[in-house]
Each structure stands twice: as structure tokens, then as C-alpha cells.
Structure 1
Amino acid sequence: MMWSRKKLKKQGKQALRKNWWRIIGISLMLAFIAGGMRISYRIDDAAVRLTGGEIGIPTNAQILNDWYLSIERSSDTESGQILAFLGEHYTPKKGVLAGVYNHMTKERSAFFGFLNAMNDFLFKDKIAEGFVILIGVILLILFLIFVSNVLSVGQCRFLLENRTYRQVKMGRLAFVWRARRWKNVMFIMLKKSVFLFLWDMTIIGGIIKRYSYRMIPFILAENPDIPHREAFLLSRQMMNGNKMRAFILDLSFLGWHILNIFTMDILRHAFITPYTETTSAELYVALREEAFEKGLDGVRFLDDERLYEESDLEEYPVESHRLYNPQVKKWIRIEYERTYSLRSLILIFFTFSFVGWLWEVSLHLFGDGVFVNRGFFHGPWLPIYGTGGILVVVLLKRFVHKPLVTFLMAVVVCGAVEYLSAWLLWEIKGMYWWNYTGYFLNLHGRICAEGLIVFGLGGCAFIYIAAPFFDEIYRRIPQKIARIICVVLLLLFAVDIVYSLIHPNSGAGITDYHVHAGEVLSLLCL
């Protein structure tokens, strides 16, 4: 039976309506983990031009074009002339590779420039930066292998159950770990990533193979025990003759993506991504049915019929699953209607603060190639994240059954925290630790619409996912040990507050922001 785009998209919308807010929350969380959502704290073109500056950073295409023209116009095409031209037209400022490039263009010799750069890197206090970057890359790769890839399979499990059952718990994201099959899933998803990386080195192989391997996460979501060879073979067989049709299916969402341009990317997170994900689940179900009709050998591994049978049950009967283990059934419970103890709130505060610090540090580490200890404090925490998270969890508890109201209130709470923090830091120390001047709908450069939207979505993620998740973990810590941990953390934080008030954390990448546009105009009017 041939599937049609219209039918799949209609079924995808129906599935989305069942658990819209949970699907959005899962999509946002996975996007955050994958690094898809970034908030840049750099001043954009508008702000720089307003202060009289110029943007002189060319694109890669412009660099290549200038390089080609330099060769074409010059009779001397030696490497020294080319490197000199590049050095005049493009000078990156940050990162290890920027240092190598600048040495090469300055020396007008790739060989001697590289040696000079390596000399700086190895013998002039540059090696620590390289180690930090290397360790960061290794940790990121390990996180993607052991967490991100496995979570994506859990997301597919959630989407498949959501088609049939009215209630699907967020805990389905941990399906692979609950079933104790994470090793096999991790290996298959790693193999898929490596294969795609290698195929990306060809002209169009990466695009084709992405469609060939597209069903692998859904196959694993149905049967995480399937051997790796059979998983790849079955996915290729299911997509055989369907790759172009699936490509056209993806292309049919183009209109939504064009419309998203006019919504400051809100539509993508609030509708387009969840819609495409539920439609992808419908595609898998349609191809699964075709596989059974064709009698493909690998269909013997697709044995979870309860995912597709009509049922009056509210949620999937986990007790009937062949991998059900009563010892791990309640390994984690993500129920957002709960009362938090003071110990949990303290630990969650420091957890959110540390995650926020880790996130901002990683943006600079992988974006600029340099380690920057972000924030006013010296310790590994950004209290603005912890404060906003705790306030949202405590103050908005009464609105949890109204997700839209929760989102709007989270925008107000988090916006107030960010604005007051920026104002207070300026009044106390006369410095900016962030600046949104030039951003769309910004208020004195301290908050902006873009950031508030992300904070609102993040606040919902705190209430519905993150806070219950960590609370469940922290409840398992013996009370005496939990008290000791809280006291130690609070003491360290108090010491950091006192020291930072005297010697605030500042410097390149931390407080080197221009003054607000409004203050610039005021100065010009004097």
C-alpha cells in the first residue's frame, strides 16, 4: 500500500494535538543538547554601525573570490604573495587556528609561519588553551555518543506511543536505559554517525545515506535488541524506492520554514519541528506496514504490536512488554505536580546554575576556541539561571495545567530576573556582563525579545521536565548526606559572593562589551 504525503501530514497533525506541549518540550531539550539553540551575546551589525564602526569580516565565499581575483590579476602567483593578500583581507582574532593562520600570513610562508605558530603554542604558555579545547571536544563527543544519540531513540519511542495512546509520560525518553539496552543502541547510533560522517565527504552520498538510515532510530525504538547489521539492512530496505518521496515530503514543509522567517524563529520551535517529527513517525509506520506486505526478512525484529493496535488504554501497558523489568519500572518518575523540599530546591538551584555556566562556557570554547569563565562570580556557576529556574518552579506551580499561561509568566519572571541582575551589576560595578544592544525589541540592552522567548520556553522545560527529573534523583540521596552537600555548596557560594564583590570576574569575553546604544547617543549629544 503506497503512502501519500497528504495523509501522513494529516496524521502527524492529529498526533501532535494529543501531546503538543510535551512534544515541544522534548524537541527543545534535544535541540538544546545538540547545540541547535544558541543565544549570542555579541553586538550585531546594527549596533556596531550605530556607534560608527564597520563590519569587516568577510564570508568564506568572499575570501575565496578575493583569493581567485588576486591570482588572476597578479603575474606573481607564489605562495608568499597569496598569503600576503589573505593577511590584508582577512584577520581572525580568536582561537588556536586563528593564531596559526595569522602567523602564516605574517611570515608570508606557510612552512615558517606554521613553525612559528607551533613555537608559540608549545613554548609560550599556549599549550593550556589547546588542552582545554581538546578535553572539551572529547567530552562533547562522549556526551553525544552516550546521551544525545540514545535520547533521540527515546524520542522516537515517545512519538510512536503517542500515536496510539492518549497519555505518554516524558519518562519514555529513558526507555533505552530502563530496558537496559543502551549499549546496543549506543553502538548502532554511533555506527550510523560515523557512516554519515564518512559519506559526507562525498558529493551527494551524505544526503542519500541520511535517507537510507532514516528509519534506524525508530527501528531501535521498537526493538532495541535488533543486531546492528539487521538494523541498517532493514532501514535501507524500507527506504528503497522511498528516498526521493521522503525528500519531497521534507520539501513540502518549505512554506512553513519561509513563514518562520517572519516569526523570529518562534514558529520553528513551537510548531514546525514537532510537526515534522510526528510526521516522520507516521512515515515509519507506513513503511513498516509496507515491509510486512513485502515480507522483508528483517520484519521479524519488529514485534511490538501494541504500538499500533487500537486500544482503550490511557497509556502503553509496560508490564506486557517483553523487556519489562519491575526493578527498573520506576527508575525515574517525571511528574511535575509535586512539592519540593528545601534540600531539593538548593540542589536544583546549584544544578541549574552549573548547567547555565557550562552552556555559556561551551559557546565560547567551541565557537571561538578559547576558554572563558563566564559570569560575575569565579566559581563554576551562573546564579541567574538557578534563580530564574527556582522562581519559575515555585511561583508558577499554580499554572502548570495551563501551558500557555506558564510560558507567558515564565517570560515575565525570567525577564525580570535578567533585567534586575544587569541593572544591579551596572550600578555596583559599572560593567556589563551581557549586552543586547542592537537586538530586536531590546530594553536598555539588558533584555531582548529573542532571549525572553528562549527563557520562556526554558522555564517551561524547568517546570515540566528538568526540576522533576533532578528532584527525583536528589530524593534518593540520604537526608544527612544531602544536608552536608547543601551546607558545603552554600558556604562556597557565600565565599564566592564576598570575594567577587571585591574582585569581580571580568576581562576578555566576560565584560568587554560596548556601552548601550542609548548611552552612545547621549554622549554624542553632549
Structure 2
Amino acid sequence: MWTRELLKSNAKQALQGRYWRSFWVCLVLSFVGLGGASASSGSAARQTVDTAGGDNASIYEMFSNIPDNMLAALAVGAFIGAIISICWVLFVLYPLKVGRCRYFMESRQSLTPASTVVSTFRQPYGNPIIVQLLTNLKVFLGFLLLIVPGIYWDYCYTLVPYLLAENPYMSATRAMELSNQMMDGEKWNYFVLQLSFFGWLLLCAFTFGIGGFFLEPYMQATYAEFYAAMRSKALAAGMTTTDELGGFVRHDTF
């Protein structure tokens, strides 16, 4: 039976002698858009959007003074920017998210090369992208359906990236099914585990988010310990086998 204290203790032990490598890995990932604890400016951004959205008349007046040809150029630019952003998320951030899971799972056993993070850019490169896309589309649909289903499904499928890190050939149906089974009875516990970092995140806010960069390796190592506990439970309960989840034997990286 796992406890928050045990997971965090194991995470600290896993980071011994490996913290700074993990720090640089998380720092680089945050710069390309895969942030975690360091992404602390979301509330400020939402407040800015809400403030701007509250003065619709001013916005309409501003756009009404822009020539039509310039508006068309802005619309085309916005469309191209949106396409580029979607492609970046799909073809870069999705594989990196799986690679980050693999890196921290391998780091539990030994010092792991930073290149492990990009090992997912090889065969089967496309499958983890498709699986995560379908999973996130289902979660997004749940948020459209009165929000609550989206929150529930988000916790049901929180282990999908770890499953793909261990078995990148797993289908979307199987990954969602197995994650849901593994999270059965654990959703609230996982929420409390996330909530246990609130104090640290609050302190990070006082450092303008800089402290989040130093907290991120600890959080990711703790979540890796959570997956390890759920994996052991799944194997013991017969939800899966070692043929399907063969462990985190290090793959050759480039």
C-alpha cells in the first residue's frame, strides 16, 4: 500500500546524484512548452483575457478602424499560427511528454541519459501521438459536457503517457482501458497527492515562477513513483502482464 510520504521519499532517493540532470531536462522541456510547476502565470493570463473581454465595445471600435485588407492579413496570420501551434503540440510536445515519463521511470533505477526524452521520436513515432490525441479529445469532449465528465476522464486517463512510455505500441482503446482500471479507487488519492504540492507551488509564485523550475524534477519523480505503484498493483491484480508492460529497460538513444 502506497502513501504520499513513501512516494515522496522514494522520489528524493531517485533524485540523489541525478537531480541536476533532471533539472536541466525539465528546464529545456519547459522552454519548448512542456512546463509543469514552472507554469504559474496561467491565472494572470486568464485575468488579462477576462479584462479584455469585458470591454467589447472598445475591441469592436479598435477593429473597425483597421482596413479590410489588413484584417484579412491578420486572419490569415492567425490561422497559420494556429496550424503551427497544433502541429507543434501533436508532433513535438506529445512525444516529449511520453519521453519525459520514460526518462523519470528509468531514472528510478540508474543515471539515465538526457537523450532518453527524445527516444520517442523513433518507431513507433506515430502511435503515441494518435493515442494521446484521441485521449485528449475524449477529455475535451467531457469538459464540453458540463465540465465534470472532463475532470473525471482526465483522472481516469492520467497514466496513459506512462503506459505509452513503457509500451509505445499500445492502442488507444487499451491504453485508456488499462489506465482507467489502474486509477480505479485512486483518483481521489492522486488528487490529494497533487494537492500536497500546493504549498511549494505557492512559494514558487512568490519567486515569479522561478522556483517552479527547481520544483519540477521533484514533482515529476513523485508522479513516476505513483505510476510505479499503480503498475505493481495492476500486475498483482491481473489487469495486465509483463508481456504487455515489459518494464523500463533502457532503449538505445541518439
Query: Is TM-score (shorter-chain normalized) higher than 0.5?
Result: yes
What amino acid is the match of 1:171? S
Which deviations, in whole Å up to 9, do the C-alpha atoms of 1:227-263 show, x marking residues without a partner? 2211110000000100000000111111111222333
Shift of 1:62: 10
Gap change, CA 1:129 and 1:86, over 3 Å in 2 = closer
Alignment partner of 1:153 is 2:98: yes
- Per the alignment, residue 485 of structure 1 pairs with none
Task: Name 1:175's counterpart in structure 2.
Answer: 119
Residue 231 of structure 1 corresponds to: 175
Separation in structure 1 between the aligned mates of residue 19 and residue 72 of structure 2, nearest angstrom? 48
The answer to whether the aligner puts 1:207 opposite 2:135 as a matched pair is no
* Amino acid corresponding to residue 246 of structure 1 in structure 2: Y
Q: Equivalents in 2 of 1:154, 1:287: separation in Å? A: 19
Letter in 2 for 1:162: S
How much has 1:264 moved relative to structure 2? 3.1
Question: d(CA) in 1 for partners of 2:34 and 2:119?
Answer: 23
Contact residue 124 and residue 168 of structure 2 kept, 8 A = yes
1:257 corresponds in structure 2 to: 201
Task: Tell me the SS of whatever aligns to 1:225.
Answer: coil
Unaligned runs of 5+ in 2: 42-46
**Quick check: 1:230–1:298 contact (8 Å CA) kept in 2?**
no
Instruction: Name the SS of the counterpart of 1:126 in structure 2.
Output: helix
The residue aligned with 1:60 is 50
1:217 deviation in Å?
Answer: 0.7
1:33 partnered with 2:23: no
1:137 matched residue in structure 2: 82
Query: Deviations for 1:177-214, whole angstroms, at most 9, x for unmatched residues?
Result: 23x11111111111122222222223222222221111
Report the equivalent of 2:61: 102
Matched, 1:163 2:108: yes
Contact 2:104 2:221 in 1 (8 A): yes
Paired letter, 1:230: R
Task: Give CA-to-partner distance per residue, 1:419-442, whole Å, 9 cap, x none.
Answer: xxxxxxxxxxxxxxxxxxxxxxxx
What TM-score do the two structures reach when normalised by structure 1? 0.43
Q: TM-score, normalised by structure 2?
A: 0.85
Aligned-pair distance for 1:266? 2.3
Distance 1:170 1:222 in 2: 17
CA contact (8 A) 2:135 2:172 kept: no
Q: Do the aligned partners of 2:162 and 2:227 also contact (CA within 8 Å) in 1? A: yes
Q: 1:274 aligns with which of 217, 221, 227?
A: 217
Instruction: State the partner residue of 1:8.
Output: 7
Shift of residue 298 of structure 1? 6.6
Confirm whether residue 290 of structure 1 aligns to residue 233 of structure 2.
yes
Matched, 1:240 2:199: no
User: Which letter does structure 2 place at the counterpart of 1:262?
Assistant: F
Percent identical among aligned pairs is 32
Secondary structure of residue in 2 paired with 1:164: coil
CA 1:59–1:226: 2 relative to 1, 3 Å: closer
Instruction: Check the 8 A contact 2:235/2:241 in 1, yes or no.
Output: no
Aligned length: 245
Alignment partners' CA distance in 2, 1:86 and 1:138: 27
Residue 58 to residue 129, structure 1, CA distance change in 2 (3 Å): closer
CA separation in 2, counterparts of 1:62 and 1:135?
A: 23
Indicate if the aligned counterparts of 1:260 and 1:268 stay in contact, CA closer than 8 A. Answer: yes
Determine whether 1:196 maps to 2:139. yes
Partner residue, 1:17:
16
Instruction: Select the structure with the greater relative contact order (CA < 8 A; seq sep ≥ 6).
Output: 2
The answer for the alignment partner of 2:44 in structure 1 is none
Alpha-carbon spacing, 1:102–1:189, altered in 2? closer, same or farther (3 Å): same
| Aligned-pair CA distance for 1:63 | 7.4
Q: Determine the C-alpha separation between the residues in 1 that align with 2:211 and 2:160.
A: 28
Q: Are the structure 2 counterparts of residues 234 and 18 from structure 1 closer, same or farther at C-alpha, using a change threshold of 3 Å?
A: farther
Helix, strand or coil: the match of 2:16?
helix
CA distances 1:403-460 after superposition (whole Å, capped 9, x unpaired): xxxxxxxxxxxxxxxxxxxxxxxxxxxxxxxxxxxxxxxxxxxxxxxxxxxxxxxxxx
Give the root-mean-square deviation of aligned CA atoms. Answer: 2.8
* Alignment partner, residue 128 of structure 1: 73
CA distance in 2, matches of 1:175, 1:59: 37
Alignment of 1:120-519 (within 5 A): 123-165=68-110, 167-178=111-122, 180-201=123-144, 202-270=146-214, 272-297=215-240, 300-304=243-247, 307=249, 316=250, 318=251, 329=252, 332=254
Deviations 1:461-512 (A, max 9, x none): xxxxxxxxxxxxxxxxxxxxxxxxxxxxxxxxxxxxxxxxxxxxxxxxxxxx
Distance 1:156 1:58, change over 3 A: closer
Check the 8 A contact 2:34/2:97 in 1, yes or no: no
How far the C-alpha of 1:302 sits from its partner, in A, is 0.6
Q: Structure 1's 225 and 183: CA in aligned 2 closer, same or farther, altered over 3 A?
A: same
